[in-house]
Structures are given as structure tokens and as C-alpha cells.
């Protein structure tokens, strides 16, 4: 059954059309079969029988009235009454004794009718003229040549029926396509709104419309989106409040430690207070990354230029290479904070850092390579956990409390992308960022 699933269309629009068109085609095929078997075949046999009967009548009249004067009268009467042109080649003999069977549908039927009615050797010619059928009958005194219009063996009902079937099918298919496209459009809009929301972008013109089930799904998506937004706002406000409230006791502790003077125990407390301050600042940075900043068209190449220039001014060796148009909708301050964390993390532990950004189809790839000590493969996913630090390469002595990579991935994922760590061609660590366009 897997091969059948591969053959079926993947989109809802195509599958819905297939559901509509398949019964329509089957009905048309059944109707065509019934028409051919019951109507067209019967009518064709009757028309062929009528022509064979006319030929048999002419043959019988010639046998009854063999004179030339009577023969001409018989031919004239046949032409006027049946439309069959007749002539007699006296003393001639048929070139072949058996009838010619063509590749069409009518020839076998007409041959069977002639055998049943005429009962004399005959030859059927269906190829010499496109609009006429020739019949040659062997008589005792010669060969009777007959020519009849081919349309005598056809009925216009066949063409009318075929045109009706094909034409109505095309009309119904077009109507079904228009209606199904209108039914699928709200589903596509819902998918687009969900995708944009997953990338951290807003879709202000989205509203439920379409069928009742689609409107219900769209309304559920709107409720879910508002719940997620409220949850994020409550979480960021709580973190901001806690981080802000912690600053007051920390400030009092710093003042009290300053009054105590210098000493080994005081130095240790000052170091702990300094660590707590860094944690609080990291909390606030995390909160700023989860703020209510709205997405806007941003030149990612310009953003990377600002980050790398700042790193170079700080005395680091950082190179930047960009390729293609890097303008996409994103939250610039949050993305700048995320990329700056990655570049700062690389410059803190490496002498050479290389940044490359390029558009790859429907996404933008950013790679940050360094020649530092790198991170063991088993720890490359662990470093994204909050407050996780490698020791000694990522110790507190180098600065940071273990939220830099967490903030970076959180921001990138809020834009619908992701960050993966791997070994760099420069010998250190590679941070690979993918952001959908």
C-alpha cells in the first residue's frame, strides 16, 4: 500500500479534486459502456442491416428483371430511394472472393449483415473514398458495383453523446476546482498564520472564515496564540520583577561589604556578590530577549556587520562574509543579542573567528567558526541548558553564568529557526544557525 500512497497527491486541494473527479469519471465510463453496448451497438447494427437490406433488394430486382432497360430503372429507383449508386460490369469477376475486413468497428458489423442478407460473394471497400463505402457483389452476368454514403452507417447521437459527456465533465471539473480552491484557501491561511507565529511574526489580518470546521480550527488557533502570548508576558514580567528586586539587596550587600574593609572573608563575599550581579544581568538579558519587540524587515547582513565591527574594535580577530539578499522580517534587537552572544562566546575562547551568512532557498544559513578548544560532541547539546557550564573551558573565570547559548537558541527558535553545534573546519567549534525566510 506504500506505493499507492506515493502515487496519490499530497495536497488537500488535489486530493479533494481526486475524490470529486474519480466518481465522475467512473460514472461517465459506465454511461459510455452502457450507451455503446445498448444504444450505439444496436443502432449501428440496425443501420448496417438496413444498408444490407437495400443491397439485397437491388440484387433480387436485378435477378428478377435482367434486361438492360429494367436494370437502368432499378438503378435509378435505388439512387432515388436509398441514395445508393449502382452499376454493372458485365462479364467481370471479383478480384478476390472474400470480403475485406478493415480495422474499424463498423466493418465487421456490415460484413455480417451483408452475409446474412445478400448471400452472394461480395467485396467490401472502406478505404478508397473517405466519405463513401464501396460494395461489389458477384452476379451471374458480372459484378455489381455499389457506392453508398458512409454517413448512412453512423448516427449523430454518438457525437452528441460524446460531446455532452466530455463537455459536461470539463464544466463540472472547472466548477469543482473553483469551489475546492475557495474551501482550501482558509486552511492555507491558517497554516500561514501558524507558520508566521512560529517565526515570531504577527499576522494582523488573520481572521476565521471558510467552512464551519475551518473557522473552528482558526478560532482555536487564535485562542492558543493569545494564551501563549499571555504566558510569555507573564513569564518575562515575573523574571524582570525578580531580577529587579534582587538588585536592591545586592546593592545593600555591596555597601555593607565596602564598610567592612578588606580581608580574606570579605573578598570571598565580594566575589559571591559579583557572581550574583552577573546572574541578575543575565536574567535581565534573557527577559529582554523574550520581550514584546515586534518583527520588522531587517537587513541581517547589516546586523552582522555591526556585531563583527564591535568585536574587532574590542581587539578580536573576526572576519565576515555575506552572500545574497539577507533581508527578512525579525526582531532586530533580540536577534542581535543572540548573534552577539555567539560571536562573544567564540572570541572569548579562540584567537580567530569567521562568520559567514548566505541565503539558501527558503532559509538563511549563518555559520560562526573559531579555532578554539571546541566542545566535546557529547556536551554540544547540554551547553544549551540554562546555567550549564563546561569546566574548565567554560568556567566563571572567563565570564558568564551559562545563559548565553540558552538565550541565543531561544531567540533563534522564536524566529522558527535553530542552532546546532559541530566541529569547525578551523579546528574549533562551529555554530550553525538556520533561520527560515
At 4-17, the pLDDT tens digits run 667 766 677 777 77
3-state secondary structure of 366: strand
Q: Where does 2-154 sit in CATH, by number? A: 3.30.450.300
**Measured between alpha carbons, how far apart are the two ends of the chain, in Å?**
36
Q: What's the pLDDT score for residue 430?
A: 93
* Count of CB atoms situated within 10 Å of the CB of 136: 21
Which residue is listed with cell 578580536? Answer: 316
Q: What's the pLDDT score for residue 282?
A: 65
> CATH 3.30.450.300: which residues of the chain?
2-154
Q: What's the pLDDT score for residue 290?
A: 53
Helices (H) and strands (E) counted in the chain, each on its own, are 11, 11
Q: Where does 182-292 sit in CATH, by number? A: 1.10.287.130
Identify whether the C-beta of residue 415 lies closer than 8 Å to the C-beta of residue 200.
yes
> CATH 1.10.287.130: which residues of the chain?
182-292
Spatial distance between the Cα atoms of 254 and 269, rounded to a whole number of angstroms: 9
Residue 157: alpha-carbon gap to chain centroid:
42
The pTM for the full model equals: 0.53
Whether the link from the prior residue into 392 is cis, omega within 30° of 0, is yes
> CATH 3.30.565.10: which residues of the chain?
295-436
Specify the DSSP class assigned to residue 398: G
In DSSP notation, 78-142 reads HHHHH--EEEEEET---S-SSPP--SSSHHHHHHHHHHHHT-S-EEEE-SS-SSEEEEEEEETTE
Identify whether the C-beta of residue 429 lies closer than 8 Å to the C-beta of residue 423.
yes
Q: Where does 295-436 sit in CATH, by number? A: 3.30.565.10
Q: What's the pLDDT score for residue 393?
A: 44
Spatial distance between the Cα atoms of 391 and 406, rounded to a whole number of angstroms: 17
Spatial distance between the Cα atoms of 179 and 356, rounded to a whole number of angstroms: 47
State which residues of the chain have pLDDT below 70. Answer: 1-5, 8-10, 36-38, 96-105, 155-159, 239-240, 243-244, 263, 265, 282-293, 389-402
pLDDT, tens only, 237-267: 776 677 667 777 777 777 777 777 776 767 7
Quick one: which H or E segment has residue 327? strand 327-330
Spatial distance between the Cα atoms of 402 and 388, rounded to a whole number of angstroms: 5
Amino acid at each position: 500500500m506504500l506505493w499507492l500512497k506515493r502515487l496519490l497527491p499530497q495536497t488537500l486541494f488535489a486530493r479533494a479534486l481526486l475524490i470529486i473527479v474519480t466518481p465522475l469519471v467512473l460514472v461517465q465510463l459506465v454511461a459510455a459502456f452502457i450507451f455503446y453496448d445498448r444504444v450505439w451497438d444496436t443502432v449501428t447494427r440496425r443501420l448496417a442491416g438496413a444498408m444490407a437490406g437495400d443491397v439485397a433488394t437491388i440484387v433480387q430486382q436485378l435477378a428478377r428483371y435482367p434486361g438492360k432497360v429494367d436494370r437502368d430503372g432499378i438503378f435509378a429507383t435505388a439512387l432515388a430511394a436509398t441514395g445508393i449508386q449502382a452499376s454493372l460490369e458485365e462479364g467481370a469477376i471479383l478480384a478476390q472472393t472474400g470480403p475485406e475486413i478493415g480495422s474499424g468497428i463498423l466493418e465487421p458489423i456490415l460484413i455480417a449483415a451483408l452475409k446474412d442478407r445478400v448471400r452472394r460473394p461480395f467485396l467490401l471497400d472502406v478505404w478508397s473514398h473517405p466519405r463513401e463505402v464501396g460494395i461489389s457483389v458477384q452476379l451471374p452476368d458480372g459484378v455489381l458495383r455499389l457506392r453508398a454514403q458512409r454517413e448512412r452507417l453512423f448516427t449523430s447521437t454518438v457525437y452528441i453523446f460524446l460531446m455532452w459527456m466530455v463537455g459536461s465533465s470539463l464544466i463540472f471539473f472547472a466548477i469543482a476546482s473553483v469551489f475546492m480552491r475557495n474551501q482550501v484557501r482558509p486552511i492555507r491561511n491558517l497554516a500561514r498564520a501558524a507558520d508566521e507565529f512560529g517565526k515570531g511574526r504577527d499576522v494582523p489580518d488573520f481572521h476565521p472564515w471558510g467552512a464551519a470546521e475551518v473557522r473552528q480550527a482558526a478560532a482555536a488557533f487564535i485562542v492558543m496564540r493569545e494564551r501563549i502570548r499571555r504566558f510569555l508576558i507573564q513569564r518575562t514580567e515575573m523574571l524582570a520583577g525578580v531580577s529587579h528586586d534582587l538588585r536592591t539587596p545586592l546593592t545593600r550587600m555591596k555597601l555593607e561589604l565596602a564598610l567592612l574593609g578588606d580581608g580574606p572573608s570579605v573578598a570571598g563575599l565580594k566575589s559571591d556578590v559579583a557572581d550574583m550581579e552577573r546572574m541578575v544581568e543575565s536574567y535581565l538579558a534573557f527577559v529582554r530577549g523574550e520581550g514584546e519587540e515586534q518583527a520588522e524587515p531587517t537587513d541581517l547582513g547589516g546586523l552582522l556587520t555591526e556585531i563583527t565591527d564591535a568585536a574587532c574594535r574590542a581587539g578580536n580577530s573576526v572576519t565576515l562574509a555575506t552572500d545574497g539578499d539577507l533581508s527578512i522580517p525579525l526582531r532586530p534587537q533580540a536577534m542581535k543579542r543572540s548573534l552577539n552572544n555567539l560571536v562573544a562566546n567564540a572570541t572569548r575562547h579562540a584567537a580567530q573567528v569567521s562568520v559567514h551568512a548566505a541565503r539558501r532557498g527558503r532559509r538563511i544559513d549563518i555559520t560562526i567558526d573559531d579555532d578554539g578548544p571546541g566542545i566535546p560532541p557529547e556536551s554540544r547539546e547540554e551547553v544549551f541548558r540554562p546555567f550549564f557550564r563546561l569546566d574548565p573551558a567554560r568556567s566563571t573565570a572567563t565570564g558568564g553564568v551559562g545563559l548565553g547559548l540558552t538565550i541565543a537558541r531561544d531567540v533563534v527558535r522564536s524566529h522558527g529557526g535553530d542552532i546546532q553545534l559541530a566541529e569547525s573546519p578551523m579546528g574549533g567549534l562551529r555554530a550553525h544557525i538556520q533561520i527560515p525566510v
